[in-house]
Amino acid sequence: MSREFKRTDRIGEQLQKELAQLIQFQVKDPRLGMVTVNHVRISPDLGHADVFVTVLGKDSEAEAKDDLAVLNSATGFLRREVGKAIKMRVLPQLRFRYDTSLVQGQKLSSLIEKAVSEDKARNQDDSADQNQQED
């Protein structure tokens, strides 16, 4: 029987909170835009942590390439600062990745809205045709 929350999930949530604050307030690189830490996935052996981020105004990984390079170059500083806040014997290596889920979600949402509006228009046309046939 598994536990409700795995240890890796709890560590990931704590890392997410700490990294979000550190990136916002401590990383002073002017090349870095407004970064949001969306999710942290920890490997089962706690050796690596994939940190999924988005950057305000950048909708693809290619656009956020410079921001990811800045974050990946600051991993030593970030690990040291996170290590001060989180008491762990071994802190995972940080790897920053661009999170495409928000962009994909927006695309799906717009497709759904488009389909709904087309369906409403089609239904209104059908009801108008029926009303004309009844008259």
Per-residue confidence band for 76, with pLDDT thresholds at 50, 70 and 90 = very high
Which DSSP helix (H) or strand (E) runs through 111?
A: helix 101-134
pLDDT over threshold 70, residue 90: yes
Beta strands in 56-130 (DSSP E): 93-98
pTM beyond 0.85: the answer is no
Between strands 93-98 and 48-55, the pairing is parallel
pLDDT in tens, 4-47: 668 889 999 999 999 999 999 999 888 898 999 999 999 999 99
> Could you tell me which CATH number the domain at 1-99 has?
3.30.300.20
Per-residue confidence band for 1, with pLDDT thresholds at 50, 70 and 90 = very low
pLDDT over threshold 60, residue 2: no
**Domain layout of the chain by residue ranges:** 1-99, 100-135
